[in-house]
Amino acid sequence: MATEMASARRARPQFRNVQITQILSYRLPPAAVVSILHRISGALLFLLLPFILYLLELSLSSEASFARLQATASHWLVRIVLVALTWALLHHLVAGLRYLALDLHLGVDKEQARRSALAVFAISLPLALLAALKIFGVL
């Protein structure tokens, strides 16, 4: 009996402190990646809200300001920022719909949650790619 307890103690997993260099080697499940990106996209949208509102104001105030916005938006760096904002909006929207479904207790099983997290990427990334192609004038 004592040997069984001793072997059971040795078989237990050991949990150690994680070093900062080990974090990048962890493979997170898709739901965790969606959660992290949902937070990042929300923070990006919140922090750039004054810039977004300024662009909206420029586009609506007059024809001259709209022309100025078009000239500014023709620069490649501004277009990259617009693509990032578009990705953030699309990802945040699709992931938010996923979280609303989870709040309604739809798809809370492990496999369903994994599939819905992958669906967030399958929907938001092609939409963001289409938007990027439109922003850069390919479409």
The answer to the question of residue 122 being in a domain is yes
Q: Residue 117's domain spans which residues? A: 38-46+76-135
The answer to the question of residue 58 being in a domain is no
- Cβ atoms < 10 Å from Cβ of 100: 10
Is 87 in contact with 124 (CB distance < 8 Å)? yes
Spell out the per-residue pLDDT of the chain, length 139, in tens.
Answer: 556 665 556 677 777 777 778 777 888 899 999 999 999 999 999 999 998 998 899 899 999 999 999 998 899 999 999 999 999 999 999 999 999 999 999 999 999 999 999 999 999 999 999 999 999 999 8
The pTM for the full model equals 0.80
The answer to the question of residue 20 being in a domain is no
How far is residue 4's CA from residue 114's CA, in Å, rounded to a whole number?
38
Domain count, the chain: 1
Helix (H, G, I), strand (E, B) or coil at 114: helix
